[in-house]
């Protein structure tokens, strides 16, 4: 894994021990694509960044409502119907943000790991 390289190809956000993240790291490493990793479980995600992502892909795309963190939330916490509530919940529980979130040098935002999509935007 290349962190903080002089010419970073992309910035990848997620949680280090997540299976999707491991697949993404392996895919990038096998192709010698440099990246900077931001662990949002440890460092969080700035609110402004979440707002940008929501504008780009929509809050429903960012929200991981299938994981264990989501299942641990009570019904009131899971009752998310607005971007503002989604962002507040993602700030409080960063593990419910889908992974990985990749910002490419070309300005694209990739959500989740799909090798075919990675291939089309990372070369």
Domains (ranges, CATH) in the chain?
10-121 (3.40.30.10)
The pLDDT score that the predictor gives to residue 100 is 97
pLDDT tens across 19-35, in order? Answer: 999 999 999 999 999 99
pTM greater than 0.75: yes
DSSP for 58-110, written as a single string: -HHHHB--SSHHHHHS-HHHH---SHHHHHHHHHH-GGGB-S-EEE-TTS-EE
Q: Residue 7 above 70 pLDDT? A: no
97 closest CA partner among 40, 35, 36, 38 = 40
Catalytic residues: 18
The pLDDT score that the predictor gives to residue 123 is 65
d(CA 32, CA 56): 27
């Amino acid at each position: 894994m290349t962190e903080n390289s002089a010419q970073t190809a992309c910035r990848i956000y997620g949680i280090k021990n997540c299976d999707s993240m491991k697949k993404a790291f392996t895919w990038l490493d096998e192709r010698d694509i440099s990246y900077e990793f931001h662990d949002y479980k440890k460092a969080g995600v700035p609110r402004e960044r979440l707002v940008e992502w929501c504008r780009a892909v929509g809050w429903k795309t960012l929200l991981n409502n299938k994981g264990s963190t989501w299942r641990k939330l009570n019904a009131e916490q899971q009752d998310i119907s607005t971007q503002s509530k989604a962002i507040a919940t993602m700030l409080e529980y960063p593990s419910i943000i889908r992974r990985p979130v990749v910002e490419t040098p070309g300005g694209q935002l990739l959500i989740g790991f799909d090798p075919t999509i990675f291939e089309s935007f990372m070369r």
